[in-house]
Amino acid sequence: MNPGLARLQAYPFERLRALLAAARPPAALEAISLSIGEPRHDPPSFVLDALAQQLHRLDTYPATRGLPELRVAMAAALERRYLPAGVRLDPERMVLPVCGTREALFAIIQAVIDAGSGALVAMPNPGYQIYEGGALLAGAEPYYLNLRAGHGYRPDLDAVPAAVWRRCRLLLLCSPGNPTGAVLPLEQLRAALELAERYDFIVAADECYADLYLDESRPSPSLLHAAALAGNTDFRRCLVFHSLSKRSSLPGLRSGLVAGDAALIERFLLYRTYHGCAMPLPTQLASIAAWNDDAHVSANRRLYQEKFDRVLPLLAPALPLERPEGAFYLWAPTPGDDAGFARALYEQAHLVVLPGSFMAREAHGENPGRGRVRISLVPALPQCLEAAARLREFLLNAAPAAR
Ligand SMILES: Cc1ncc(COP(=O)(O)O)c(C=O)c1O
């Protein structure tokens, strides 16, 4: 068997289930789940209609490369949103459809790592668990970039020793970040690319939350934009991962894209032909409709902005939190141990939140998720408000010493 399998950690939600298994929440209170990052807003009906109208296309094997019209729609969406005027993303060579960013992030690690070469994959910590699992199963060693409040929850790339960069083959970035909501500014993306040039590695930016920025006047930038500003309009060493899951509230469609360096995309296409996860044609055709429209994306984003507008003031007396820059999470400090906090909150207020330490690894002498919980504002607004009110009461009633 692949020895990496034995090194995989339990998924955070398995650990959460075990943590809460014996707890008895108050039956009088409706359970509100704020633990999972699954969008719950209504998906755009025109996308669902497009899907329904194309079901007869299930009679055909789809091509891994996807329909040309799909790649054109995806490239155009990225150009509209991220690229300076005149910079093109060639739909023939620089874009591929993927069945959601999860499988694509996992697959890219398998495609780029030379197992047994001592390769490192650098990744944010806390971070999306697939990065670590992908690295382990590819035979690489994860290198954890701890995200700390003092550094704006952005990886401190300057603090990484040169010896680490020399072994690094892939740097994974996530912006806006899960779970912190931090956005990586263009300067930091550019600095990452400079390191990639100097030490010969690839930068893969997980930008699946990129359309959910929480200040309407500050859209989150893309690694592609940083590359273009540095004159790297071939997007050499860059790959970005985008998804309709959060942008269009379509997590079940399993539709996303990877874009960037044509030479990497070509090799990744070869990998994917064997990997065998071409996107079904009805999904491709529905995805064209979704990528071609930005109005539903703004409407979706505004729903999240409204949640933060309403929830943060409600929590403020007990839990003053800064508004994150993007995504739909609060990365909240806990009085005391985060797992104990999550369990007590479930037992007393029937709220489910994810302990931060379950999303992070012990690295460089600390677990940077310890003492935090991730609160996911995905339920409908009234439920988010009810949850915020219960959380506030819970915190205000906690022993003062614990606050
Ligand atoms: C940081 C991050 N990346 C990737 C994904 C996967 O999203 P999808 O496969 O639906 O595109 C998620 C899902 O929650 C996520 O939080």
Q: Is the CB of 256 under 6 A from ligand 1?
A: yes
Q: Which residues pair with 192 in a beta bridge?
A: none
Tokens representing 180? 């912190």
Q: Is the CB of 328 under 6 A from ligand 1?
A: no
* Whether the predicted model's global pTM rises above the 0.95 cut: yes
What is the C-alpha separation between 335 and 384, in angstroms, rounded?
21
What is the C-alpha separation between 232 and 224, in angstroms, rounded?
9
Q: Which residues pair with 373 in a beta bridge?
A: 332, 355
pLDDT in tens, the chain (403 residues): 999 999 999 999 999 999 999 999 999 999 999 999 999 999 999 999 999 999 999 999 999 999 999 999 999 999 999 999 999 999 999 999 999 999 999 999 999 999 989 999 999 999 999 999 999 999 999 999 999 999 999 999 999 999 999 999 999 999 999 999 999 999 999 999 999 999 999 999 999 999 999 999 999 999 999 999 999 999 999 999 999 999 999 999 999 999 999 999 999 999 999 999 999 999 999 999 999 999 999 999 999 999 999 999 999 999 989 999 999 999 999 999 999 999 999 999 999 999 999 999 999 999 999 999 999 999 999 999 999 999 999 999 874 444 4
Helix (H, G, I), strand (E, B) or coil at 371: coil
Q: Tell which phi-psi region holds residue 139, choosing left (phi > 0), alpha (psi between -120 and 50) or beta.
A: left
What is the C-alpha separation between 131 and 133, in angstroms, rounded?
6
What's the gap in Å between 24 CA and the centre of ligand 1?
A: 31
Q: Is the CB of 206 under 6 A from ligand 1?
A: yes
Q: Is the CB of 287 under 6 A from ligand 1?
A: no
Rounded to the nearest 5 degrees, what angle is found at the Cα of 136, between the Cα atoms of 130 and 137? 85
